Amino acid sequence: MRNRILAIAALAAAIGAPVAAEAQITTGSTVVVDEGMGIVADQRPAFREYVVRERTPSYTIPDRVVVGGVLPETGVTFYDVPQSFGATPYRYTVVNGRTILVEPRTRRIVQVIE
């Protein structure tokens, strides 16, 4: 009986650990931030329109734009995400033609808005 309880506890911990650790979801080849932290799926088209309307400049970097990548310390400007798209601790910018959310303190890419 004790072995069974331990096995169930280990299985529950294994299932819950990745969700709590990263709070990211993989959709095909794109990794996006958990819906509570980034731009939710149904608001992404409106957010892309907002970025175009604001004429946010696109910065060019030699690296690939992928979730987890880190932007250079200089040469890229971050912008506040309007409250109408939800409260988020992240900022946005456009790099290599792609709109992304960035953790401003570390400059780490947390979401690529497709």
Mean pLDDT of the chain: 79
Q: Where are the domains of the chain?
A: 23-113
| Whole-structure pTM value | 0.67
- Taking the C-alpha atoms of residue 15 and residue 50, their distance in angstroms, rounded to an integer, is 38
Q: Give the CATH class of 23-113.
A: alpha beta
Q: What is the mean pLDDT of residues 92-104?
A: 96
pLDDT at residue 16, as a whole number:
46
List own/partner pairs for 57-64 with CB under 8 A and 24 or more apart: 57/94, 58/94, 58/95, 58/96, 58/97, 59/93, 59/94, 59/95, 59/96, 60/95, 60/96, 61/95, 61/96
Counting every residue written for the chain, the total comes to 114
Check pLDDT > 50 for residue 24: no
Q: Radius of gyration over alpha carbons of the chain, in Å?
A: 18
- Taking the C-alpha atoms of residue 112 and residue 95, their distance in angstroms, rounded to an integer, is 10
